[in-house]
Amino acid sequence: MTAMTMAKALNTGLRRAMEQDSKVILFGEDIGRLGGVFRITDGLQKDFGEHRVMDAPLAESGIVGAAVGLAMRGYRPVVEIQFDGFVYPAFDQIVSQVAKMHRRTEGTVRMPIVIRIPYGGGIGAVEHHSESPEAYFAHTAGLRVLTPGDPQAAFVTIQQAIACDDPVVYFEPKRRYWDKGDVDEGLDARDRQRVPDPWQARVVKAGDDVTVACYGPMVRTCLEAARASSDASLEVIDLQSLSPLDIETLVASVERTGRLVVVHEASANVGIGAEIAARVTERCFYSLEAPVLRVTGFDIPYPASRLEEHFLPDLDRVLDAVDRAMAY
């Protein structure tokens, strides 16, 4: 096991995928010589060459459009959208072309594209740099959506996303880039006997009283809440895959605990938490001891950086929801 940051784990996972398959190519704004804004691709252009790690113009629609063409020619492009708020110029390409090409061609053309997007707040950034647009893509049929919760998951799932024949929108929680954790570099992401299915949720802490479902940047927050909780034993589940959603793992947990709190940074209205609440209530109606509760960002545009700590769910808000669920 090696202690490394999530940023380093992603870099190592990308390197491993490029070593194993010469058809894997990377491109995006500033990812080559600079190594990306967050240095996720640091050193890759030097080691693999400018023909496999390429700097792209400031044109998100063009970046994703080029990836479509490369995928049709048999490549596995991995493109980076420099910040979450700049994915919208590429939105039409993603939902109209990337998501639909496989079905449109009756299975003849596959789209093994990975679209990497640093997302979420907590880094004191300016406007358009701290958004959580994951629900848009999870809503779109034909796309898979992944988001790692810790360095080990990042190392493995970025490789699994690249190996997937379906398009994957890969959300990286930017404020967790510098969080450290143990990573087993000896794991081969292709070894299905030892490596968990990326489309399944992970029970990262077992508990008995309340199920807490979260993903991405909120995994650490919810684990901190579980350690701080003195009145209830929390079972923390990292969803990891937002599309498809692993409802079975949630159902098994909620049938035992009787309570569910869903936590995410994105606003509550029509968010991932609403879908989870509806589906778990349908399956667990007679097991629930309390309504499904959500802890989310507020239904406002992302605020100025001085106010973001009031916007983002924190340990206290999670514990407050747990208290309300236990009070029923």
Rounded Cα distance between 20 and 16, Å, is 6
Q: Which residue type sits at 47?
A: D
Rounded Cα distance between 113 and 66, Å, is 11
Rounded Cα distance between 26 and 266, Å, is 28
* DSSP letter string, 131-161: ---HHHHHTSTT-EEE--SSHHHHHHHHHHH
Q: Where are the beta strands (DSSP E) in 180-315?
A: 180-183, 202-205, 210-214, 234-238, 241-243, 260-267, 293-297
Rounded Cα distance between 27 and 226, Å, is 39
Neighbours of 176 (CB within 10 A): 23
Rounded Cα distance between 206 and 86, Å, is 37
- Residue 129 bears catalytic tag: yes
| DSSP character at residue 31 | -
Active-site residue, selected from the candidate residues 129, 139, 264, 310: 129
Active-site positions?
A: 129
